[in-house]
């Protein structure tokens, strides 16, 4: 069974990340809880860079539920068509904006349960909004955090909910508020999916992943040279001498 990081190592792990990144924050551009909610909803299966490029044009036009509903699904699509799954996302953003107006007086609710009732808002999106907009110590487990947690031995789990629950259990209270951002940024820029950059990792000695990637990467394996098989050609039959 794979080992887990000890409590002492986990505390040291987060302490080092906090020194390296004292003020971590989301890389999505937003100006309010509502624009954050929209940006995170659009970011599913898309990059933050791509979302920011779209919202840079969108938010000056529609940065409230009222303005978004007035903009409409078709015109919204014109702003976000560079983002993956944009048609479905446009539909969800308009729908959730209408619900915010009808049920929440145009305000974004501050609980995960209420957020998850909105179209296109899952557990991860709700956790991001709760953490970033409302300062709650939630941890939104995305692909980076899932990888880092399992790879390092910090919080192993077969699915994102198990990893989330484990992280909330083992992360020291003083680090819970920023744990989400430390882990996602560490996974995005250091503990990368294909080749983790262990040689410049500030927590490499605490991490249980092996073998550690050296600077410059592992030497490439040379493919053995295969000797070509020589095909034996049958000799042509002897021509019979003419009589």
Question: Mind listing the pLDDT tens digit for each residue in 124-176?
Answer: 999 999 999 999 999 999 999 999 999 999 999 999 999 999 999 999 999 99
Q: How far apart are CA 184 and CA 208, in angstroms?
A: 18
CA distance 122 to 125: 5
Q: Same domain for 68 and 87? A: yes
**Residue 241 maps to a domain:** no
Residues 135, 25 contacting (CB under 8 angstroms): no
Q: Which residues are annotated as a binding site?
A: 191, 198, 201, 207
Compute CA distances 149 → 10, 73, 86, 137, 144, whole Å: 11, 38, 30, 17, 9
Average pLDDT in the chain: 92
* Residue 37, pLDDT score: 98
Whether residue 62 is found in the same domain as residue 129? yes
Q: Residues 98, 163: one domain?
A: no
What is the total count of domains within the chain?
2
Q: Are residues 104 and 157 in the same domain?
A: no
Among residues 103, 134, 165, the one where a domain terminates is 134
The predicted pLDDT at position 231 comes to 54
Higher pLDDT, 52 or 241: 52
Residue 229 predicted with pLDDT over 50: yes
| pTM score, whole prediction | 0.85
Domain membership of residue 19 (yes or no) is yes
Catalytic residues: 124, 142
Binding-site positions for [4Fe-4S] cluster: 191, 198, 201, 207
Radius of gyration of the chain measured on its C-alpha atoms: 26
Residue 124: half-sphere exposure toward Cβ, Cα within 13 Å: 21
What is the domain extent for residue 74?
Answer: 33-134
Q: Are 151 and 126 contained in the same domain?
A: no
Instruction: Answer yes or no: is 194 within a domain.
Output: yes
Q: Which tens digit of pLDDT belongs to each residue from 67-97?
A: 999 999 999 999 999 999 999 999 999 999 9
């Amino acid at each position: 069974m794979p080992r887990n990081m000890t409590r002492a190592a986990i505390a040291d792990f987060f302490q080092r990340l906090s020194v390296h990144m004292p003020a971590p924050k989301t890389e999505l551009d937003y100006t309010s809880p509502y624009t954050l909610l929209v940006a995170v909803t659009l970011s599913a299966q898309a990059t933050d860079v791509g979302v920011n490029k779209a919202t840079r044009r969108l938010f000056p036009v529609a940065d409230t539920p009222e303005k978004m509903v007035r903009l409409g699904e078709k015109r919204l699509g014109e702003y976000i068509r560079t983002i993956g799954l944009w048609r479905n996302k446009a539909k969800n953003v308009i729908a959730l904006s209408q619900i915010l107006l009808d049920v929440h007086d145009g305000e974004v609710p501050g609980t995960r349960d209420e957020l998850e009732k909105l179209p296109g808002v899952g557990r991860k999106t709700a956790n991001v909004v709760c953490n970033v907009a409302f300062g709650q110590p939630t941890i939104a487990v995305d692909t980076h955090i899932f990888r880092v947690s399992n790879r390092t031995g910090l919080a192993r789990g077969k699915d994102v909910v198990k990893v989330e629950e484990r992280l909330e259990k083992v992360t020291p209270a003083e680090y819970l508020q920023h744990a989400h951002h430390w882990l996602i940024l560490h996974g995005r820029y250091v503990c990368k999916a294909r080749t983790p950059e262990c040689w410049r990792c500030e927590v490499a000695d605490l991490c249980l992943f092996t073998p550690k990637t050296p600077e410059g990467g592992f030497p490439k394996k040379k493919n053995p040279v295969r000797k070509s098989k020589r095909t034996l050609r049958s000799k042509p039959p002897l021509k019979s001498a003419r009589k």
